[in-house]
Structure 1
Amino acid sequence: MAETVALIADMVDGAGALDVTDVWENGWKISNELMDKIRPVFELHRDPGYADLEQYGADGIEGPGGSLNAFTGPEVDWLAHAWIGDFKRAFVNVHVTAWLGPHIDVPHLGIAFGTSPRPWMYLDTPARQDLNTNIDYFDKYIEPRNEHYLELRVDPRLTQFVSRSAYIRQVLTDVAICSSLDNNEENWELMRTEAHRLVDIWLGWVKEAKPVPVEKRAELAERDLILRRTIVKRDPANVLAARRLGPDIEERLVNALWGADRQIPRPSVS
């Protein structure tokens, strides 16, 4: 696997008038397949605080725009299913991010597809315990995925993307997949397979999870919020939204991804 450390925003802007509509079509389709698996497992409610973002800007084809739906519920602190794009100018980003409530300490779920301007995928399960010292947690959620990660790491179809943000690199687990691929049917099938595989694993963890002791839930919830807020705010790709839609929309979207203006309260810690 080759590597690139270039800034995605610069690579996308440098691509000029590249039509990436098919990247959005493929990425959005996969994201809906994943949501079809996730929705039946949880009680989810769309947060009305972000009703204005269900469709904003243009349709991505005639101009930049997007859609963001934010959900919460008794077992899910914050779930965002979103896309943003300017399809005739090389820009697409699709998100399914699920942040669980403090009743369990199963890792969260992070999945994204986008352009660099080649298609890229991000697949990870952000940890909720210290992986350096909580060895049982590491052995349960990270180690079993190591061999598969190593297989993908040497797959010549994948070019590893290395974030220029030290913080973003630090929060990725050691089995995170963040890679770009050529835009062809074979590679999209690979991305679909890997995304479904991760969601299936994650949902299995949720099903088998044991409750977190009540006295530890408030601390876990606070850690989750700090992590989610900081990841979203420090994402170097945020500048693409500002360049396409303006700083006000960018700020609104960033806040939506971590739930700054949510109207439905966070899950109970009791």
Structure 2
Amino acid sequence: MKETLRHVEQMVDSSPVVDVTETFQRWQELLAELKAKIDARFELRRDPSTEPLESYGAHPGGPGGRLAAFTGPEVDWMVHSWLGDPKAGFANLHLTVWLGPQVRVPHLGIALLVWPEGWFYLDSVPRVNLAADGGYYDRYYEPLNEQWLAVRQEYPELEWFTSRAGFIRASLSPTAQCYSFPRSDRLLGLVRRLTHEHVDRWLRWVDGAEPVPGPERAGLAATDLAIRRNIAERDPANVMGVRYFGQETTDRLVRGLWGGDRVLPRPGA
């Protein structure tokens, strides 16, 4: 299997300028389908801090984006967002759900990119040290190992994406899917299948989870927030936000990803 070992901005800068609006719209439709499944399961309310980010930039005439974050009794922070300039060959879309401390189910991570090739990331963000908690690994990760291996073996067109940032590599679970690929119908269909399976499985995990004892919830919530903030602030792709919108707006967007400006209380607070 081939490997991609470049920063996002290097991939974009070394590629031809291609209008990727069609793929961008397909990604938007896919995330809307996945979000609808999540909305049907959880009670969610948009945090007012992200309402000014409903639309920013100059899209469709230039770079733009949208960031909406939600919270609720069982969800600490859900982000549904996109950023980029599809007509110039780049768009980055996210759907992430960080659960409240009432359960230890892994958080849900989905990111889709077009640069103008395709790229996707799917993961179940662990909430324990997997090497120390073998039972947690056995419950949530070992059942996915065969699928992870099968994707690598059955789709040679995929290129494993290795981040040049060591912290980002450390944030991936053993069953994370993280690939760049040619935008063929075959591979776009693979992404559709894997993302729907990912969300359906995660919702079953939530429904079958045991409650976390009350005294342990504050510590779990603190760890969740630290992980979320570190991933958002250390993401090398933030440079694309600076390129399009400047540092001040990018800083605000990053805070939106982790909840730095949130108005509504965290669940259980």
Q: Work out whether residues 23 and 114 of structure 1, in 8 Å CA contact, stay in contact via their aligned partners in 2.
A: no
Give the Å deviation of 1:245.
1.3
| Residue in structure 2 matched with residue 2 of structure 1 by the alignment | 2
Q: 2: distance between equivalents of 1:248 and 1:57?
A: 13
If the length of structure 2 is used for normalisation, what is the TM-score? 0.97
Give percent identity, aligned residues only.
47
- Counterpart residue type for residue 123 of structure 2: D
- Superposed displacement of residue 120, structure 1: 0.5
SS in 1 for 2:125: coil
Provide, for residues 136-165 of structure 1, a one-character-per-residue CA deviation record: whole Å limited to 9, x for no partner.
Answer: 000000100000000112221211100111
Question: What is the CA deviation profile of residues 106-160 of structure 1, one whole-angstrom value per residue up to 9, with x for unaligned ones?
Answer: 0000001002431101000100011001000000001000000001122212111
**TM-score of the superposed pair, with normalisation by structure 1:** 0.97
- Whole-Å separation in 1 of the counterparts to 2:14 and 2:157: 23
Segment of structure 1 superposing worse, 81-90 or 226-235 = 81-90
5 Å-filtered alignment, 1:1-270, equals 1-59=1-59, 61-154=60-153, 155-268=155-268
Note the alpha carbon deviations across 1:199-228, whole angstroms, 9 max, x for none.
011000000001000010000000000000
User: Conserved in 2, the CA contact under 8 Å of 1:45 and 1:71?
Assistant: yes
Give SS of 2:30's match: helix
Q: Give the 3-state SS of the residue equivalent to 1:94 in structure 2.
A: strand
- The residue type equivalent to 2:134 in the other structure is I
Bigger mean CA deviation after superposition, 226-235 or 246-255:
246-255
Rounded Cα–Cα distance in structure 1 between residues aligned with 2:85 and 2:187: 22
Paired AA for residue 118 in structure 2: P
How far off its partner does 1:16 sit?
A: 4.6
Structure 1 residue 241 displacement after superposition: 0.8
Could you say what secondary structure the match of 1:29 adopts?
helix
Q: Give the 3-state SS of the residue equivalent to 1:125 in structure 2.
A: strand
Contact in 2 for aligned 1:26/1:188 (Cα 8 Å): no
Contact preservation (8 Å) 1:104, 1:211: yes
Provide the rounded CA distance (Å) in 1 between the counterparts of 2:22 and 2:6: 23
Q: Deviations over 1:60-87 (max 9, x none)?
A: x310001111000010000000111111
Distance in 2 separating the partners of 1:45 and 1:91: 30
Q: Which stretch shifts more, 108-117 or 257-266?
A: 108-117
> What CA distance in whole angstroms lies between the structure 1 residues aligned with 2:261 and 2:226?
15
> What is the RMSD of the two structures over their aligned residues, measured on CA atoms?
1.0
Aligned residues of 2:84 and 2:91 also touching (Cα < 8 A):
yes
- Aligned residues of 1:13 and 1:89 also touching (Cα < 8 A): no
Contact 2:4 2:180 in 1 (8 A): no
Moved over 3 A (4+): none
CA contact (8 A) 2:74 2:267 kept: yes
Q: Distance in 2 between matches of 1:153 and 1:169?
A: 18
- Partner Cα distance (1:197, 1:163) in 2: 25
Task: Tell me the CA shift for residue 89 of structure 1.
Answer: 2.1
Equivalent position SS for 2:91: strand
User: 2:35 and 2:58 mapped to 1: Cα distance?
Assistant: 24
The amino acid of 2:79's aligned partner reads A
Residue type at the aligned position of 2:49: G
Compare 95-104 and 176-185 and name the one that shifted more.
176-185
The alignment of Structure 1 onto Structure 2 pairs a total of residues equal to 268
1:232 partner letter = A
